[in-house]
Every structure is written in structure tokens, then in C-alpha cells.
Homo-oligomer: A and B are copies of this chain.
């Protein structure tokens, strides 16, 4: 399958694509806006927990994954991210649950909020409104109120900013907000290189979209870039209605490796990092030579936090380009919406 690559230069002129693309361009601003929110949390009752436990699903869950994966050197307290059916049974009064639901209506998140309250777990709610905001106010639970009007997945930068300053604020992390802020300033480089105005020759995001178009995409990633691999998958799923399989190194080299390629339609991206250890470099090279005809390397360079943020932003651009190539609306997620309705019905019945 081939597509006219000049289409990718015209994204800003097509309303259904331009709206979300501008949200990506604006990520540096959203990180900063989020940071202001987190400083407002009052330390009493939530400071110095045994563990920080993020709970959220989909677009609201990835902020927890970002902190548990990328900010491990900023904390002395375990930061755990869960997107399972329920919160862990071991959570107790010494732990802090950060319960995240952009819409404030996700069934599982509301259940997690109630369960945590029942068990005496310290709770902070992060949402743009809805039932979660109401429940938090009613129960005297501290609330981080996110800006309204985003598709949940596009709220990640604001959520991340808010989480960073909140965690600094309550003495869980040191200088997480500073690291995020410094990196946000530099993201302008990613905007310049990867947005629709940047020509194909210099634009790895456009190249990646063309590389993956018509394929079953896989991404190899490691360490702090694992969360970006997840982000790429989720954004391809939601924005481009497109599959993607995440392969983490080293884990996938102990199992997945024996089964590659999954099909004759496989295409791969390799997320490379200037912070790679020698063993990761060796494994990346091995996989690149094993899949040389169908793989493309993408390099990120800078601090661990900057690379994570840059690769998230880059992945978001790729998803918009793939949505355009596939001529699908990046905003609407019809099946997810249908399932949510179905779920509501079946829970009300019981």
C-alpha cells in the first residue's frame, strides 16, 4: 500500500486532523499548566506515604506509568501504576492512591475511589469533573481539576505536570516538576522537526507513518522509553484505529524473539536512546539485523525525562499522520463509546 506523502503536509488545512494536531503542538504549554495545579495540593494527610499508587485506565492510566517508569530516580518511595480491574488489596492508610479519570465517569475508577475510602487509604482525585469530582468534594478528598474539553488521551501532559508538582509538594519526589519544566521548554524542537510543516526529508514522524502504513506495526523499546512504546500503541489504536504491538527489551528477548515476525505484514520501529546501556544497544542491534528489511530506528537524545516526553510527543504525531493516511477521524472512538454504554446498562441491572 502506498499513499501520497504530500497529504501529510496538508494536515493543518483539514479540520478533523488539525484540531488534534494543534493539541500535540501545544503539549509544552499543557505540561506547564499542569505543574501549577499540583502545587495547590495541601500536604497534610497525604505527605510521605509508604507507596504512591496511581490507578487509571487508558488515557488516564498512562500518567501513572510515566511516573513509575521514568521518574524512578526522583523518588525514594515506590511509585506503582495499576490499570487492573481493581486496586490492590494491600493498600492501607499509609499509602496514597492517586485516582485518575479524565471524564470522571469511568466505572472502575469510581469503584476504586470508594474501595480506597472504605479502607482508609489516603486519596487524591485527578479529573476534569463528572462524578469523581462530585464524590471527592462530598468526601473532603483533595482534587486536581484538569482543564475541560480534551479527548482524555490528550490530557496526559497536563496530568503529568500536575502529578510532578504534587509529588514534589508532598515530599515524595525531588525536582520532578523542575525536570518536566526544563524538558517542556525544549519540546519546541520536536514540534519543529515533527509537525506537519516540517518536510518529509527531515521528518521522522512522517517517515514512520509511511513505514507503518499497511502493516501490522510493532515497537521495540526499553526502560524509560517503554512508556512511549505504550503511548504509541494506544495512540495508533485510538487516533488511527490501527493495531500496534509493544515489545519491551530485555523481556521480549526471552520469549517474543522466537516468534518473530508475527506475519508477513510486520513492520517495526526501534526506539533508541542516548541513555542506553551497552546491553540494550547490543539487543537493539540484534533485533535490527534480524528484522533489517522491515525495521526503522528512531533516536531520542537528551535526559531520561526529556527523551520520554519527546518520544511521547513524536508518537502522537505519528498517530495523526497514520489517521490521515487511513482517512479516519482521530477524535471519535465509536467502539469504546459503545462498550461504555453497554457496560453502564449491565451494571445498572445488578
- Complex CA gap A252/B57 in Å reads 9
Given A255-B58, A279-B346, are A78 and B77 neighbors across the interface (CB < 8 Å)?
no
* Contact present for A84 and B226 (CB under 8 Å): yes
- Of A8-16, A38-46, A189-197, A240-248, the stretch lying at the interface with chain B is A240-248
In the complex, the answer to whether A78 meets B85 with C-beta atoms within 8 Å is no
Interchain CB contact (< 8 A) of A283 among B88, B343, B350:
B343
Q: List chain B residues, Cβ under 8 A from A242.
A: 259
Residues of chain A at interface, number, CB under 8 A? 73
Q: Which residues of A33-69 have CB atoms within 8 Å of chain B's CB atoms? A: 50-51, 57-59, 61, 69
The 7 closest A-B pairs by CB, nearest first: A58-B254, A243-B262, A282-B346, A234-B255, A237-B255, A237-B259, A243-B259
A73 at the interface (CB under 8 A from B): yes
C-alpha gap A291/B221 in the complex (Å): 30
- Nearest chain B CB to A81 CB, angstrom units: 11
Contact residue among B73, B278, B333 (Cβ-Cβ distance under 8 Å from A346): B278
Q: Kindly list chain B residues whose C-beta atoms are within 8 Å of the C-beta of A263.
A: 216, 243, 263, 265
Q: Tell me whether A2 is interfacial, beta carbon within 8 Å.
A: no
Q: Measured between alpha carbons, how far is A256 from B242 in the docked complex, in Å?
A: 8
Is residue A347 contacting chain B, with contact meaning CB distance below 8 A?
A: yes
A108 within 8 Å of B by Cβ?
yes
A307 interfacial contact with B, CB 8 Å: no
Q: CB distance A283 to B339 under 8 Å?
A: yes
A350 to B241, CA, bound (A): 44
Question: Does A286 have its Cβ within 8 Å of any Cβ on chain B?
Answer: yes
17 examples of A-B residue contacts, CB within 8 angstroms:
A77-B90, A78-B90, A80-B80, A84-B226, A86-B277, A233-B255, A237-B256, A242-B259, A245-B245, A245-B262, A258-B335, A258-B336, A263-B265, A278-B346, A278-B347, A278-B350, A281-B346
A165 located at the interface, meaning its Cβ lies under 8 Å from any Cβ of chain B in the complex? no
Q: Are A279 and B51 in contact (CB under 8 A)?
A: no
Task: Give A residues with C-beta under 8 Å from B.
Answer: 50-51, 57-59, 61, 69, 72-73, 75-80, 83-86, 88-90, 92, 107-108, 216, 222-223, 226, 233-234, 236-238, 241-245, 248-251, 253-260, 262-263, 265, 277-283, 286, 290, 333-336, 339, 342-343, 346-347, 350
Interface centre among A79, A259, A290, A343, by most chain B C-beta atoms within 10 angstroms, is: A259
| A258 x B241 contact (CB < 8 A) | yes
Q: A59-B254, A283-B343 are in contact. List 10 more A-B contacts (CB 8 A).
A: A50-B78, A58-B251, A72-B89, A78-B78, A86-B223, A243-B260, A258-B333, A258-B334, A279-B343, A286-B339
**Which of these, B59, B88, B250, B286, contacts A78 with CB under 8 Å?**
B88
B336:A254 contact, CB within 8 angstroms = yes
Asked whether, in the complex, the Cβ of A108 is within 8 Å of the Cβ of B241, the reply is: no
In the complex, what residues of B have CB within 8 A of residue A84's CB? Answer: 69, 223, 226, 248, 251
Residues of B within 8 Å of A238, CB to CB, are: 255, 258
Q: How far is the CA of A223 from the CA of B82 in the complex (A)?
A: 11
- The residue of chain B having its C-beta at the shortest distance from the C-beta of A79 within the complex is B90
- Chain B: CB-nearest residue to A51: B78
- From B76, B107, B277, A279 is in contact (CB under 8 Å) with B107
| B residues near A342, Cβ cutoff 8 Å | 282, 286
Closest to A74 in B: B89
